[in-house]
């Protein structure tokens, strides 16, 4: 079973989208969480654009990476290019990827939608490889 952690700088936009999509797509086939290098708050526009596609992330919470340990996961995905800032043990999981997607922070709804759709495609590809 995949145990997936999506990591971003603040855990407020991209990683929250990825967590929401992965939970919906994988169901009970995977354990999914997300974290930030530092905890923050979920951007309300993230919640809004995810709701547009039928994914409710309103109850998700931003969590710092320090709340987790690498042993809990066999897949770690960085969404923001922050892999270079992760402690080495996080890079040594069974599967590590750095998707390096643009941060929609400060953008309009269309910017958030574009990133949401990119995250969706990446998560779908990740979960299709079993």
Q: Residue 129's pLDDT band (boundaries 50, 70, 90)?
A: low
Closest by CA position to 23, among listed 59, 74, 72, 65 = 59
CATH code of domain 2-128? 3.40.50.2300
Residue of 32, 80, 119, 126 with catalytic role: 80
- Is 8 one of the catalytic residues? yes
CB 111 within 8 A of CB 104: yes
* Res 60: pLDDT: 95
| 101: DSSP letter | P
Catalytic residue check, 80? yes
C-alpha span between 48 and 56 (Å, rounded) = 9
pTM: 0.94
| Structure tokens that stand for 14 in this block | 């991209």
pLDDT per position as a tens digit, 18-29? 999 999 999 999
List the catalytic residue out of 8, 32, 119, 123.
Answer: 8
């Amino acid at each position: 079973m995949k145990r997936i952690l999506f990591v971003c700088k603040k855990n407020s936009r991209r990683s929250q989208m990825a967590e929401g999509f992965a939970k919906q797509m994988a169901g009970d086939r995977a354990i999914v969480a997300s974290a930030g290098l530092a905890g923050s708050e979920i951007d309300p526009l993230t919640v809004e654009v995810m709701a547009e596609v039928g994914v409710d992330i309103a109850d998700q919470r931003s969590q710092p990476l320090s709340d987790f340990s690498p042993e809990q996961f066999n897949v770690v995905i960085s969404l923001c290019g922050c892999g270079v800032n992760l402690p080495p043990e996080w890079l040594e999981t069974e599967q590590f990827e750095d998707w390096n997607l643009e941060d929609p922070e400060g953008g309009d709804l269309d910017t958030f939608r574009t990133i949401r759709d990119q995250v969706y495609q990446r998560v779908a590809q990740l979960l299709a490889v079993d």
